[in-house]
Structure 1
Amino acid sequence: MTQTSVPQQQPTAPATVRGTRGGETQSFKERIALSFVIGVPFAALVIAVPVVWGWGMTWTDLIIAVVMYAISGHGVTVGFHRLFTHSSFKAKKALRVGLAIAGSLAVQGPVIRWVADHRKHHRYSDHDGDPHSPWRYGETLPALMKGLWHAHIGWLYNAEQTNQQQYAPDLLKDRAIVRVSRAFPYLVLVSLLLPAAVGGLVTWSWQGILTAFFWGSLVRIALLHHTTWSINSICHAVGERPFRSRDRSGNVWWLAVLSMGESWHNLHHSDPTAARHGVLRGQIDSSARIIWLFEKFGWVRDVRWPSRERVALKLRGEAAP
């Protein structure tokens, strides 16, 4: 089966809009902004250990961080990934927009750019053309170490950006999603300032504002960044591979909770449009559970749940029906 439904020929697209460009190169200002967005939260993540050891963490900060992680993380996994990239289900317009906004709060780039990059990854997964394969430089240990760095962070600095008109023409025609993609810089500010505002309102103190910003904004963003990027790097280098796929995607169990089910990566690359990735006994997949709840409430339809028969065929390495 095809890995994703991307047209082979570049279609006629509407006029280029800010935040939805295709075929351009990354500017120096964009690289500076990217370094800031990656570096500052990561520094907070590193500092978090001695901060917890020396001063502790309040329940308010923990709740704010966990809630923001769940909202922005599932915005990526349920929205950016399973809905917009792979069309694993169909959602009502309000939910589509809500998921696009929630995913943008993860600060991983505008929704249309994210989708274009990921569709290109599936087309060339672990082969020439893959934006972030850890096997890019070869299979020796030094080559793999270099490849893991590239797959984790280095690829974000690729000078040539994925052509969005080629890989995400459907989203470029969706005015509501284009608006969300354009609004990404403002949504970054919301993602940074909202936890601080909540912390200030709950504690009515400057300390509450600062600690909520540290934990709920910076540490939360960094942890989600590196969890998501670990799917690109770690899950294509190690892990169990019980399912047939044309690449080296693997299942990494210890990332399952933090990645909200995305680290059951072998099944995903074996059956990309499946709405559930954790299909075997004991495989936690909170993203699939949320899609299930949406379906029960009538907010989504045509969910592509993997049947037992389909899973069994892929486990045996036979062709799926």
Structure 2
Amino acid sequence: MTIQADEAAPGAVVEAAEPPPISATLGGEKQGLAERITLALFIGIPFLALVAAVPAAWGWGLGWLDLSLAAGMYFLTCHGITIGYHRYFTHSSFKAGRALRIALAVAGSLAVEGPLVRWVADHRKHHRYSDKDGDPHSPWRYGETVPALLKGLWWAHMGWLFDEEQTPQQKYAPDLVADTAIRNISRLFWLWTLISMLIPPVVGGLVTLSWQGALSAFFWGSLVRVALLHHVTWSINSICHAVGERPFKSRDRSGNVWWLAVLSCGESWHNLHHADPTSARHGVLRGQVDSSARLIRWFELAGWASDVRWPTAKRIDARRAG
């Protein structure tokens, strides 16, 4: 018996009756040296571009084409992560037709944040042990003193990515491992990474008919865009579990950080998310911008999404702190 993605309970940790072949689990439970070196390159090179972005913009400017490509790719891939990887595949906040399901899987993969099945498995484990022993990326891992918290913030932000121990994907994401189409998309992560990095320079080169235009678009639309999205996403793990307002009851230290809301596409309203993980909307209070929820609503109106878990006033009130 297999478990389909929309049949499994949100974030459920269940065992598949008949495990698929080893290759279908998308990697073992230990991270090899080659994988860690590759990961370091994909983190380090875009980060260096992000550091160089300010003096580069000051020295020779940022054109409208580069800005448009960077912004367009940023918000496309950011919503691929927030709506696709997170709210849909991890928490089943809504049901999606096959076309939207595939589109969300690809859009999330273009964010260059790792294979879909591995990302979901890590995040489901995070919710199971949030800010406790077993959480893959809690900033409170080493204690509550200032030195311990600084070390923990580094771990939660990106140190955990290099942990040799990997989350068992068959245990935490059996529904996705059992889905052939999703499993194949996840295994083709290298291809989506290549496409994601090539789209801006190809478009920039064709529009400007120059190698300089292609190189500039690659710098801003590929390297800087990927680095910025990486660090915004990782800030949800680190910053939003260390500081922020906590208007809702949760069993961890998740907080709302307003100044990350736009760049995180609504993910930084993190306290409500941990208080009600399957909610399709995270920014539920007045003035809380949540572009991911807005897009899910449009998908619903278009008939592409159904059974959306919208938070009701009663549900919100029941989770208020105090």
Q: What is the TM-score with the length of structure 1 in the denominator?
A: 0.96
CA deviation map 1:219-244 (0-9, x unaligned): 00000000000000000000000000
Equivalent residue, structure 2, for 1:79: 84
Does structure 2 conserve the Cα–Cα contact (< 8 Å) formed by 1:11 and 1:165? no
Equivalent residue, structure 2, for 1:213: 218
Amino acid at match of 1:90: K
CA spacing shift, 1:225–1:45, aligned 2, 3 Å: same
- Aligned-residue offset at 1:313: 1.3
- Aligned-residue offset at 1:8: 4.9
CA distance in 1, matches of 2:318, 2:159: 37
1:127 aligns with 2:132: yes
CA distance in 2, matches of 1:263, 1:203: 37
CA deviation map 1:88-137 (0-9, x unaligned): 00001111111111111111000000000000000000000000000000
Q: Where in structure 2 are the equivalents of 1:49-88 lying within 5 Å?
A: 49-88=54-93
Answer with 273-282 or 197-206: which moved more.
Answer: 197-206
Equivalent residue, structure 1, for 2:19: 13
Amino acid at match of 2:34: K
State which of 185, 194, 203 in structure 2 corresponds to 1:189. 194
CA distance in 1, matches of 2:24, 2:170: 13
Equivalent residue, structure 1, for 2:156: 151
CA deviation map 1:143-187 (0-9, x unaligned): 000000000010000101100000000001111101100110011
State which of 253, 270, 275 in structure 2 corresponds to 1:270. 275
5+ residue gaps, structure 1, are none
CA distance in 1, matches of 2:224, 2:183: 29
Equivalent residue, structure 2, for 1:313: 318
Amino acid at match of 1:220: R
1:170 aligns with 2:175: yes
CA distance in 2, matches of 1:161, 1:211: 37
Equivalent residue, structure 2, for 1:248: 253
SS at match of 1:125: coil
5+ residue gaps, structure 2, are 1-8
CA spacing shift, 1:218–1:19, aligned 2, 3 Å: farther
Amino acid at match of 2:285: L
SS at match of 2:280: coil
CA spacing shift, 1:11–1:144, aligned 2, 3 Å: farther
The count of aligned residue pairs is 314
- Aligned-residue offset at 1:16: 2.0
CA distance in 1, matches of 2:54, 2:25: 36
Does structure 2 conserve the Cα–Cα contact (< 8 Å) formed by 1:227 and 1:255? yes
Equivalent residue, structure 1, for 2:3: none
CA distance in 2, matches of 1:147, 1:182: 31
- Aligned-residue offset at 1:304: 0.2
Does structure 2 conserve the Cα–Cα contact (< 8 Å) formed by 1:19 and 1:110? no
Equivalent residue, structure 2, for 1:222: 227
Amino acid at match of 1:162: T
CA distance in 2, matches of 1:316, 1:205: 57
1:39 aligns with 2:62: no
Does structure 2 conserve the Cα–Cα contact (< 8 Å) formed by 1:192 and 1:213? yes
CA distance in 2, matches of 1:19, 1:219: 31
